[in-house]
Amino acid sequence: MAQPEAVYATDEYGRPFIILREQGKKTRSHGVEAIKSHILAARTVANIIRTSLGPRGLDKILISPDGDITVTNDGATILGQMQVEHQIARLLVQLSKSQDDEIGDGTTGVVVLAGALLEQSEALLDRGIHPIRIADGFDKACTVAVEQLDRISDRVEFSKDSNANLLKTAMTSLGSKIVSKEHQQFAQIAVDAVLTVADLQRRDVPFDLIKVEGKVGGSLADTTLIRGVLIDKDMSHPQMPSSVSDARLAILTCPFEPPRPKTKHKLDITSVDEFKKLREYEKEKFADMIKKVKDTGANLVICQWGFDDEANHLLMQNELPAVRWVGGPEIELIAIATQGRIVPRFEDLTAEKLGKAGIVREVSFGTTRDKMLVIEECANSRAVTIFVRGSNKMIVDEAKRALHDAICAVRNLVVDNRVVYGGGAADISCSVAVSKAADEIPSIEQYAMRAFASALDAIPLALAENSGLSPIETLTEVKSRQVNEKNTRLGIDCSGRGENDMKTQFVYDPLISKRQQYLLATQLVRAVLKIDDVIVSGQDEE
């Protein structure tokens, strides 16, 4: 056998190293061996976040390349920030992202289930069952499980006045988060925010009307819901009034400055008279702009761009408060909330295009007197902002992620008000149903269906393990009680209350979230089982 050819090279600092030609090629495996290596990579990722499932799940600390620290137990965030090199493991990252994008909650559970299915399929491959037959069996089992979810689901009735059931669902979602100490308050904020913007007739929740802002300082208990818009800006001049009642807002995306020559042109000033003329011209233009704004009846200017000290001084002299450097998304939200129009030129500004709000005021925090601007009693009363406080940036960021999950859980109930019971109760019930269905199938797919039933047990097993219980004993006891008592609401008692009925504990999961977990995990496992080779583009095999 020929020796691998070696090449001597140096790096950018002149340090020598040797490249073996064989290093450029990765060892490749085919068929079942390749599928097993893919399963191993995906299971490794699933096992990392398995310990963060449930109300007693543990957090992960993520360190970015530039040293930023994130502490979270949100599956999508953990996987999104991990450096995953293996191609199949990246599929799990995309799986959690698709669950997060579509449903917003249940990102850890879907990856744990996919990892359990892959673990079961490895055992079936060892028994000589073809990967396609395993995938077909998983598909049949998933259909049975989804039908069982429909059968055991309960409808949750709610209205804008009576929202106790929505509150319980939001509290279930927040039970595993860093905000669990204040989860009653955070759940109430999430429910109030969703019901304020929701159209219950059309079962629609426009998320663009809910904004979540955070500021370091204070405690989580200081988090509030503002029925209006909050922006991290203050008045452009310290002597401008800090509050404006009955505000009429001119929302501008044009700069508050005179027209200037573009970059291809230049203006030469050679005498004092020319300089004075230029100064007078600028002053006239400023006065003209301010007059156009005041003629419309506006008493507050929101400007996307900045303006210099002279413009700022003139605005203050003319008693026209202004806010500058307001970003694009924020200016759009202000326009939606105040029902104003964004105006790109001063010539287009009219009284009809002004936004309206009851009061615009500055609020300040802490000893540093940081200021933010609150726009309340807006013409469009549906726009809300959740203002999160916390002792440091890490807690504020995690509280925002927790609120996002809670808002999504409530939104899912507005869209479809059917729930299944958490604590693994729905998974155990589906596992029993799939096992029964497998007994009636004569073909080889029955093995895959039984494996699917075993994989469904992975979620209650992980919940029991993370809660410090004996996993197998606890699961066996709850499963036998479900079968004997015919009560599909029995699950793992993670909180240690001595009560296994999840309806009594008010542990709810939206049906569409759980159904999506099953469907997405099964689709991913089917895709992995069908891949028997990885070919790196541009590398030939000898």
| 405 is annotated as an active-site residue | yes
Q: Out of 105, 192, 405, 509, pick the active-site residue.
A: 405
Indicate the angle between helix axes 107-126 and 445-456, nearest 10 degrees: 140
User: What is each CA distance from 542 to 28, 535, 539, in whole angstroms?
Assistant: 12, 13, 10
* Closest to 376 in 3D by CA, of 250, 220, 231, 253: 231
Q: Out of 108, 223, 385, 522, pick the active-site residue.
A: 108
Characterise 203 by phi-psi region: left (phi > 0), alpha (psi -120 to 50), beta (else).
left
Q: Out of 51, 70, 72, 74, pick the active-site residue.
A: 74
Cβ atoms < 10 Å from Cβ of 481: 15
**Strands (E) located in 366-432:** 370-378, 384-390, 418-421
User: What is each CA distance from 539 to 21, 462, 536, in whole angstroms?
Assistant: 12, 41, 6
Amino acid identity, position 404: H
Pairing of strands 508-510, 418-421: antiparallel
Give the tokens for residue 380.
Answer: 């469009």
Contact status, residue 85 vs residue 150, Cβ threshold 8 Å: no
Query: Is 311 exposed, middle or buried, given 0-12, 13-18 or 19+ CB atoms closer than 10 A?
Result: buried
Phi and psi angles of residue 104, each rounded to the nearest 5 degrees, phi first: 95, -15
Q: Where would I find the H helices in 82-106?
A: 87-102
Q: Out of 70, 72, 107, 169, pick the active-site residue.
A: 107
| 107 is annotated as an active-site residue | yes
| 439 is annotated as an active-site residue | no
* Closest to 529 in 3D by CA, of 452, 462, 460, 456: 452
User: What is each CA distance from 393 to 53, 217, 273, 390, 396, in whole angstroms?
Assistant: 24, 9, 55, 7, 5
Phi and psi angles of residue 482, each rounded to the nearest 5 degrees, phi first: -60, -45
Q: What letters, b where the CB count within 10 A reaches 16 and e where it falls short, cover 396-431?
A: bbbbbbbbbbbbbbbbbbbebbbbbbbbbbbbbbbb
- Report the sign of the C-alpha dihedral through residues 196, 199, 200, 206, in that order: negative
Cα–Cα distance for residue pair 515/106, rounded to 1 Å? 10
| 532 is annotated as an active-site residue | no
Point out the residues that are catalytic: 74, 107-108, 405
